[in-house]
């Protein structure tokens, strides 16, 4: 789950990381009020869950409350990478001397958290990573022991941070580690962490992603989820524990297992078709879940055919077949359906679907070819 900048920074602040004064606003008038409270120069920042807001014109500086209101009006009318801007963060503008990149994330190769920092912070950090990776310091953290103070100090030294800032930097590093650990983050990023002209370290921007698998111990964070920022079908899918991603093709797919779901898409493409979605019903799905999955697939008007590819293991084919029957009864789909059932209870499943007017397939290649043909109306 991604958090907005303003949410991330509120969390940072709770863990002792200094952030600019400011607040989030949903209207231009609110933005003006906040600007009046803050005084001085103001930054208006669109709150959308994608990168590249600055380049898209979603971050602007205002010299006074009136301009703040104007800019907020503009930004709240924007759409960035397809996402409408519904909120803006109104922050005091900082006079920046240096921009530092600072993050903790998971290093899956090392199986450990990793702290990363660079004196070349800011929006171009990925370019730095690609061209001069030696400018980015990485330190692995022992997951049982946590970040040690000396490690933070070594990082401060390695990015040539002036010694006057070490103490504060170490405090921020400890704070960021606690944020990462206690929120089950998979990313806690400050970019930029700035040295201001008045010699303070401030987290000017923040980005956090929380591990969805750890939500059971974070009821407070779950409330922060911004469902306005998701496609409704994805929200619906999550409700049922399904993993769904909408794509641009016209062949709906329902598969058990992420690897097999991707493979089904690959094979559809290999035989000249275009998948309409990625949909993994997971392991052990019951009839209800399967029915929900089918409804979600069919909400996409571009879908011209549906491929069900189920290889039973922990999932039982008869349960899947029952779900399909329930959903067919409910949504009365008009598009052709290709179904392939193999593995646990496949025989029982096939029997249940015998009278359901579906195209059956034996192999994956066969199933893919038949769904490509069906989508083309052949």
Partner 1 sequence: MSILVDKNTRLLVQGITGNEGLFHTTQMFAYGTNVVGGVTPGKGGEWVLDGKIPVFDSVKLAVDATEANASIIFVPARFAPDAMFEAADAGIPLIICITEGVAVQDMMRVRSYLDQKKVRLIGPNCPGLLTPGEAKVGIIPGDIAIPGNVGVVSRSGTLTYEVLYALKLVGMGASTCVGIGGDPVNGTNFLDVLEMFEHDPKTEKVVMIGEIGGTDEEKAAEYIASKMTKPVAGFIAGQTAPPGKRMGHAGAIIEGGAGTAADKIKALESAGVKVAKHPEEIPTLLK
Min CB(31)–partner 1 separation in Å: 25
Min CB(115)–partner 1 separation in Å: 10
CB-nearer residue toward partner 1: 73 or 243: 243
Residues 246-265 touching partner 1, rule: CB under 8 A, are 247, 255-260, 262-263, 265
Annotated catalytic, 101? yes
CB-nearer residue toward partner 1: 186 or 291: 186
Across the strands, what pairs with 206?
Answer: 190
CA pair distance 122, 198, nearest whole angstrom: 19
Q: Is the peptide bond before 192 cis (omega within 30 degrees of 0)?
A: yes
Stretch that binds partner 1, among 193-201, 309-317, 322-330, 353-361 (CB under 8 A): 309-317
CA pair distance 326, 319, nearest whole angstrom: 11
Binds partner 1 by CB under 8 A, chosen from 25, 75, 100, 103:
103
CA pair distance 148, 72, nearest whole angstrom: 42
CA pair distance 281, 265, nearest whole angstrom: 15
- The interface mask with partner 1, positions 30-69, x = CB under 8 A, is ---------------------x------------------
Min CB(106)–partner 1 separation in Å: 6
- The residue annotated as part of the active site, out of 189, 240, 244, 319, is 189
CA pair distance 2, 207, nearest whole angstrom: 8
Per-position DSSP letters for 267-281, written without gaps between them: HHHHTT--BSEEEE-
Are β-strands 337-343 and 305-312 bridged in parallel, bridged antiparallel, or unpaired? Answer: parallel
Is residue 243 within 8 Å of residue 278, measured between CB atoms? yes
Min CB(7)–partner 1 separation in Å: 14
Would the CA dihedral through 95, 99, 101, 102 be positive or negative? negative
Binds partner 1 by CB under 8 A, chosen from 33, 41, 86, 148:
148
Min CB(318)–partner 1 separation in Å: 13
CA pair distance 229, 119, nearest whole angstrom: 32
Distances in Å between the Cα of 115 and the Cα atoms of 103, 130, 177, 204 are 6, 18, 9, 18
Distances in Å between the Cα of 220 and the Cα atoms of 5, 82, 182 are 17, 28, 12
CB-nearer residue toward partner 1: 108 or 378: 108
Residues 316-375 touching partner 1, rule: CB under 8 A, are 342-344, 363-365, 368
Residues 163-202 touching partner 1, rule: CB under 8 A, are 163, 166, 181, 184, 186-187, 189, 191
Min CB(155)–partner 1 separation in Å: 10
- The residue annotated as part of the active site, out of 15, 101, 180, 244, is 101
Residues 289-308 touching partner 1, rule: CB under 8 A, are none
Is residue 63 within 8 Å of residue 115, measured between CB atoms? no
- The interface mask with partner 1, positions 106-145, x = CB under 8 A, is xxxx-xxxx-x--------xx--xx-----x-----xxxx
Active site residues: 101, 189
């Amino acid at each position: 789950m991604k958090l907005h900048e303003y949410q991330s920074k509120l969390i940072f602040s709770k863990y002792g990381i200094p952030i600019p004064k400011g607040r989030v606003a949903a209207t231009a008038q609110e933005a003006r009020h906040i600007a009046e409270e803050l005084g001085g120069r103001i930054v208006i920042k669109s709150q959308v869950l994608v990168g590249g807001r600055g380049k898209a014109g979603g971050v602007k500086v205002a010299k006074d409350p009136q301009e703040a209101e104007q800019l907020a009006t503009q930004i709240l009318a924007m759409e960035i990478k397809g996402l409408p801007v519904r909120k803006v963060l109104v922050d005091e503008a900082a006079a920046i001397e240096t921009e530092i990149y600072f993050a903790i994330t998971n290093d899956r190769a090392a199986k450990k958290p990793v702290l990363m920092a660079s004196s070349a912070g800011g929006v171009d950090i990925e370019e730095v990573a690609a061209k001069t990776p030696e400018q980015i310091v990485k330190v692995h953290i022992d997951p049982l022991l946590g970040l040690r103070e000396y490690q933070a100090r070594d990082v401060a030294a390695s990015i040539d941070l002036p010694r006057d800032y070490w103490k504060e930097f170490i405090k921020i590093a400890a704070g960021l580690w606690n944020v990462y650990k206690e929120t089950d983050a998979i990313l806690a990023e400050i970019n930029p962490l700035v040295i201001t002209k008045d010699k303070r370290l401030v987290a000017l921007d923040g980005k956090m992603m929380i591990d969805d698998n750890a939500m059971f111990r974070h009821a407070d964070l779950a409330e922060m989820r911004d469902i306005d920022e998701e496609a409704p079908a994805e929200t619906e899918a999550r409700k049922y524990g399904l993993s769904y991603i909408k794509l641009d093709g016209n062949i709906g797919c329902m598969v058990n297992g992420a690897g097999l779901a991707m493979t089904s898409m690959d094979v559809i493409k290999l035989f000249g078709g275009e998948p309409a979605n990625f949909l993994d019903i997971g392991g052990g799905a019951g009839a209800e879940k399967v029915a929900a999955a089918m409804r979600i697939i069919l909400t996409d008007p571009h879908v011209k055919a549906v491929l069900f590819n189920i290889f039973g293991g922990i999932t039982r084919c008869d349960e899947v077949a029952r779900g399909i029957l329930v959903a067919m009864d409910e949504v009365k789909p008009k598009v052709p359906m290709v179904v392939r059932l193999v593995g646990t209870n496949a025989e029982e499943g096939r029997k249940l679907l015998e009278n359901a007017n579906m195209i059956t397939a034996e192999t994956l290649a066969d199933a893919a070819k038949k769904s490509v043909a069906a989508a083309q109306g052949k």
